[in-house]
Amino acid sequence: MENTKCDCGHNNPVGTVLCEYCGKPLDESGRSDPPLEMRYEGRARRSQTRNTTLFDRVWNFFSSVKVAIWMILITLVISILGTLLPQEQSIPSNRPEIYYAQKYGVWGDLFYRFGLSNLYESPVYIALLAAIGISLVVCSLDRVVPLYHALKNQKVTKSPVFITRQRVTRTEPVSVGEKEALLDRLAENLSAKQYRIRREGDSILAEKGRFSRWGPYINHIGLILFLFGVLMRHLIPGWYLDESVFVREGETEKLPGLNYYVKNEKASMELYDPGEMPPSSENRQPVVKKYETRAVLYEKDRETGTLKEVTRGSIRVNHPLEHEDLQLFQADFNTETRAILLNVKDKKKDRVVDTIRVDLFDPKPEYKLNGGVKVNILNYFPDFVMEGNRPATKSENPNRPAFIFSVDAPGLKQPEKSWLISGANLDDINRENRYEMELKKLETVNVSGLMVRIDKSLPVIFLGGIISMIGLVMGFFWHHRRVWVRWKEGNLYIGAHTNKNWFGLRRELEQAAEKAELPLSFSLEKR
């Protein structure tokens, strides 16, 4: 490809395929008749013209669509692997190193070891996305610039070789006398089909929908913006927050990492009435209709330390509470036992002396009752287990509260020890006692699990999405069509090119030609 001077006299840059001036193919070593390669108008791209510095090499690597396709396919395959087993964030355990091996055996273990259990946040995956991003930038720049120049500087008069080697082309003998009127009629009828017409001597260039050529690039810009927004969340401190907080009804909790507090005024759950359920689901479990938390958001004054209300409202699934960038989502709901009410019963007199209320989160050491009866809590195990033969607690959550009380009353020689373990019958142990602790009632409280989020990238991410969509629609629902007509030495040459939807182009040409009293068939079947 040494000689880049065209027969028409125009000097083209190295790497050019079709003469920039007349469109004639330059490299005719493999002289044959297949349609011309029209991509980027046969223009030279940067990646084809420079290959010396390191920068050039990197540029060329990322500008290759082949490389891009490989990156897309690798991302695709790796993504599939990650869906074979659940990801870490959705397993019911926070010990993944044990969980996968236990639940799924050898494969589970391998899954964990290869890092597939947290694939989508892994450096490899993020690097792949970043590489696609770089590739998008480089590739688009590499092509859009020459494409823009080529389309802007199009010449109307093209070499007959160029025209007859288009995918859609016809040549008809037309005499000198007829040609002027025929060219006029063709121009007029193509114009009626919304083509923009340029004329130059015996040549016509009709073009429409050029803007759709920018669709893919606009789409790529949107994708880049999107990826950029995603990356920013990890790079800029305070840009992104993803935490959760559990708040009991009536309580106020600090939001992790923020100077805000949230109060849960009321948390509730509503079920569907049986009447709202389809008949066949009678014997199924009830279905939840609504989870709701009535919340108040406070900001802590840094100087005085007091809480100042900033907003309040109800949080439901799909309806978060928002304050500036902060959003609180309803994510979890459960009911906890908060307190127990105990009847202290005198077995000898067979009557209840008094009732005490023990707060499971904050039990008092001593309770004074009617008739001088006194109850002390000797020991409290919120989450009772036997470890060997010693009682112990698994956690601070009152999942299975157990107590050792000591009861003292005027008539007793010495205080009695009384055991109470929720869910266990301890009559045997406590048989000797005169005073019995009898469970009267459990007091429950609803707990809301709220997700606490800040995501300042969202506008960028969604803007990226919108731009990307605009690009897609431009590129796919419109088409760039061009028709070249030239009369030369007794022949009329017609050639046409589109970037997609050839069928429509053929039909349009046929209709325009017929109206111009030049009945030509452009359809495939009758070629």
**3-class DSSP assignment, residue 439:** strand
Site string for ligand HEM, 116-155 (x = CB under 6 A): ----------------x--xx--x---x------------
Residue nearer to other proteins on the CB measure, 313 or 465: 465
Is 65 one of the binding residues for ligand HEM (CB under 6 A)? yes
Q: Which two tokens stand for residue 59?
A: 């540029």
Please compute Rg for the chain using Cα positions. 40
Stretch that binds ligand HEM, among 8-16, 91-99, 213-221, 288-296 (CB under 6 A): 213-221
Q: Which two tokens stand for residue 511?
A: 């209709």
Q: How far apart are CA 420 and CA 401, in angstroms?
A: 8
* Of residues 6, 226, 3, the one with CA closest to residue 129: 226
First CA to last CA distance, the chain: 34
CA-to-CA dists, residue 420 to 39, 353, 376, angstroms: 83, 18, 13
Q: How far apart are CA 94 and CA 98, in angstroms?
A: 9
In the 8-state DSSP scheme, what is residue 396? Answer: S
Q: Give the nearest distance from C-beta 90 to other proteins in angstroms.
A: 7
Q: Give the nearest distance from C-beta 294 to other proteins in angstroms.
A: 16
- Phi-psi category of 209—alpha, beta or left, where left has phi over 0 and alpha has psi -120 to 50? left
Is 115 one of the binding residues for other proteins (CB under 8 A)? no
Residue nearer to other proteins on the CB measure, 22 or 452: 452
Q: What are the φ and ψ backbone dihedral angles of 454, each rounded to 5 degrees? A: -130, 135
Q: Among other proteins, ligand HEM, none, what does residue 276 contact (CB within 5–8 Å per kind)?
A: other proteins
Q: Cα 137 from chain centroid?
A: 21
Q: How far apart are CA 440 and CA 427, in angstroms?
A: 16
Site string for other proteins, 438-457 (x = CB under 8 A): -------------x-x-x--
Q: Give the nearest distance from C-beta 450 to other proteins in angstroms.
A: 9
Residue nearer to other proteins on the CB measure, 229 or 401: 229
Is 82 one of the binding residues for ligand HEM (CB under 6 A)? no
Is 98 one of the binding residues for ligand HEM (CB under 6 A)? no
Report 249-308 residues binding other proteins (CB under 8 A). Answer: 272, 276-281, 287-291
Q: Which residues contact 478 (CB under 8 A, 6 or more apart)?
A: 209, 211, 212, 215
Tell which one of 6, 68, 190, 295 touches ligand HEM (CB under 6 A). 68
Q: Give the nearest distance from C-beta 136 to ligand HEM in angstroms.
A: 4
Residue nearer to ligand HEM on the CB measure, 23 or 475: 475
Residues lying near ligand HEM in the complex (CB under 6 A): 65, 68, 72, 132, 135-136, 139, 143, 213, 216, 219-220, 223, 472, 475
